[in-house]
Amino acid sequence: MMKSFYSLILMGLLGLSSCKVDPVIIPVLPVNDLREIVPQGWPAAKYTFSVNAISAEAFVLGRSLFYETLLSKDNTISCASCHMNKAAFSNPDHNLSHGINGILGKRNAPGIFNLTWHPYFMHDGGINHIEVQPLGPISNRIEMAENINNVISKLQGTDKYKTLFKNAFGTEEVTTQRMFRAMAQFMGLIYSYNSKYDKVIRNEEGMVFTEAESRGYALFQANCNACHKEPLFTDFQFRNNGMRVDPQVNDSGRAHITNQAIDLYKFKTPSLRNLAHTYPYMHDGSLATLQACLDHYTSGVVNITNLDPYLQSGGLKLSAEDKKDLIAFLLTLTDNTIASDSRFADPNIK
Amino acid sequence: MKQLFYIIFFALLLFFSCKKDPITNDPTPAPLSSIQVNLNNMVDDSLLVLNKNYFTSAGDSFMVSKFKYYLSNFVFTLEDGSEYTEPESYHLIRHTNGISSFTITQVPLGGYKAVRFMIGVDSTHNVSGTQPGDLESSYASDMFWTWSSGYIFLKLEGTAPKSPASDKLIEYHIGGYGGKYKTQRDFNFNFGFGRLNVLQTKLPVLNLKVNVNEIFKTPVAIDFSSLPTVVAGGFYAKQLADNYADMISLKSIDNP
């Protein structure tokens, strides 16, 4: 009796002092249920919505902005032009993203999910916060090429946004902070934690790896997990995995931001979740298939400046059979709930 | 059982103490007033006029078309040594011809003997997402780097005959909020025997002189022919920051 009393108090205190989200597993959320999630066993998120209280109205505004072409100079391109819902919000059609006037960017658009864990954004980590992320593409000459002042006045001039801003923030006023916080709610609440892998790890009923997937998982842990760390499948470090440098583009990677020689040709380790959707692969979209990625690790690793020590002795050793098993495992990281979840869908398509 | 109640009691105490602000017995809040801060942007002894020709100390000709900078974290020291720290203290100065100014409100009444502040924005506010007020204005005023997040602390653009860049442009976008190339610089002014008197009815003015020529002078003389542009943080940005570290001086304090 006494003991259970103590533990009750203890739990009460824990509950109160944490004031944060408890680790929860909520397999697919019902429509309109918006909440911060930290799946069991995951690290704490970097962005916690503590100054950006989640509301359905702000989320709806953020979604609307994400799918809004008024954000671009000639009103033709939205974030979703390059970050497609059906493809875990990546751009499967192009190896390099096409922006305004079809101009080719120099990098491949990554998927958008589990962003609240990212300590920085972009392949070079140049953007340091989810709330200032949209400024990058909006003002990028090649992507949307628009000035934020114009975006604000365009939005302010529509009844639709007057209503949406009023619903979300109490007045019709359009400010960058309101825009970007709403967009942070939309993007930040796109979680990916319902792949087959997750269900197996959670011991959900009837969920087991096939033999090939099991072998693949073991190979993954031995060869890849050092960088593509579970459960997010990235360690968020900047590393050089031996991709050939295209002399035309000469993308210096992280060094573009830090101007330090030790960062030359290093890129943020990408998550391997949703690989089935996020092709083509690597920062420059130069590898079309998972087979090509694995072939890269076994026979394509170029010994260039700052090649990761882990890959320096001629890359990884994997047999053809190993690669098959690895691919089988990698495909268990596909989470189709992102595409099927109507909360994330284009609100303009009824 | 008694023990148990104590525990619950303490637990509750703990709970409430973490939620509520400490209770203070302040009878009535101190009366508040304001300070006006004037920025006299100058080239040596003349007020800066945009697109007008000037000479650096080294004798090089140049014109300024744009001059903007952030002043932040103002702290005023009262007679008795106590301090008033302006909350959310970020001021974007955009030079138009004439004196630029802003007002710091809600300052407790009294005679102030010193002020300190800095050029730039503290690192915390560079890494915490969107901010309100003058920091929010950075996006529209091009005082934020969108590809490598961080505020531009000082921006000076113009032309110089010696510049090898196209259209003879000179462009200095200085920022960098942490590490060895950080570019915030502190200023600290003691008013000596003078006092800045904050009263209920009158607005005292803190007059600061900002000398553009200091940006090009010491410790490293900037040669427009070899360094016409700096548009990112790093080694050269720091060099310019070391130069602007003495760009601002106290001109006068005016008590009406």
- What is the tens place of the pLDDT at every residue in B172-190? 999 999 999 999 999 999 9
Of B60, B10, B12, B35, the closest CA to residue B199 belongs to B35
Mean pLDDT, rounded, of chain A: 89
* Rounded Cα–Cα distance for residues B56 and A226 (Å): 55
Residue A8 lies in a domain: no
Residues A223 and A328 both lie in one domain: yes
- For residues A208 and A162, membership in a common domain is answered with no
Residue among A16, A132, A175 with most chain B CBs within 10 A, to mutate? A132
Residue B150: closest CA among B169, B187, B175: B175
> pLDDT at position A324, please?
98
Which residue range(s) make up the domain with A82? 56-192
Using CB atoms, pick whichever of B128, B140, B232 lies closest to residue A129: B128
Q: What is the torsional sign of CA A296, A297, A302, A308?
A: positive
3-state secondary structure A24-91: CCCCCCCCCCCCCCECCCCCCCCCCCCCCCCCHHHHHHHHHHHCCHHHCCCCCCCHHHHCEHHHCCEC
ipTM given for this complex: 0.82
**Res B241 pLDDT > 70:** yes
Number of domains in chain A: 2
Domain with residue A138: its CATH number is 1.10.760.10
Within this chain, do residues A183 and A201 fall inside the same structural domain, yes or no?
no
Where a domain ends, among A192, A213, A229? A192
Residues A218 and A184 in one domain: no
Residues of chain B with pLDDT > 70, as a percent, come to 88
C-beta of residue B89 within 8 angstroms of C-beta of residue B72: yes
Contact A115, A90 (CB under 8 A): no
| Of A82, A175, A188, the residue nearest A137 (C-alpha) | A82
Look at residues A162, A192, A222 and tell me which one is the last residue of a structural domain: A192
Among the residue ranges A45-59, A269-283, B17-31, the one predicted with the least confidence is B17-31
Asked if A178 and A207 sit in the same domain, the reply is no
Of the candidates B220, B252, B229, B87, the one whose C-alpha atom is nearest the C-alpha of residue B157 is B229
- Tell me the C-alpha distance between B158 and B171, whole Å: 7
Tell me if B127 sits within 8 A of B159, measured CB to CB: no
Beta bridge partners of B108: B32
pLDDT at B22 over 50: no
Cα–Cα distance, B50 to B65 (Å, whole number): 5
- Whether residues A140 and B4 touch (CB distance < 8 A) is answered with no
Domain identity same for A148 and A269: no
Out of A52, A126, A140, whose CB is closest to B149? A126
- State the DSSP code for A98: B
Answer yes or no: do A276 and A151 share one domain: no
In a domain, residue A35? The reply is no
**Least trusted range by pLDDT, from A231-240, B27-36, B127-136:** B27-36
Chain B nearest C-alpha distance from A257 (Å)? 6
Say if A51 falls within a structural domain. no
**Cβ within 8 Å of A, B 104-133:** 126-132
Please answer yes or no on whether B150 and A128 come within 8 Å at the CB atom. yes
- Above 90 in pLDDT, residue B11? no
A209 vs A40: CA distance, rounded Å: 20
On whether the CB atoms of residues B160 and B62 are closer than 8 A, the answer is yes
**pLDDT tens across A305-349, in order?**
999 999 998 899 999 999 999 999 999 999 999 999 989 999 988
Proportion of chain A above pLDDT 70, given as a percent = 87
Please check whether residues A147 and A90 belong to one and the same domain.
yes
B160/B133 Cα distance (integer angstroms): 34
Task: Supply the pLDDT for residue A349.
Answer: 81
Between CA B252 and CA B115 the distance in angstroms is: 12
pLDDT digit string (tens) for A212-258? 999 999 999 999 999 999 999 999 999 999 999 988 888 999 999 99
Q: Is residue A135 part of a domain?
A: yes
CB pairs under 8 A between A and B: 75
At residue B83, does pLDDT exceed 90? Answer: yes
A62 and A161 together in one domain:
yes
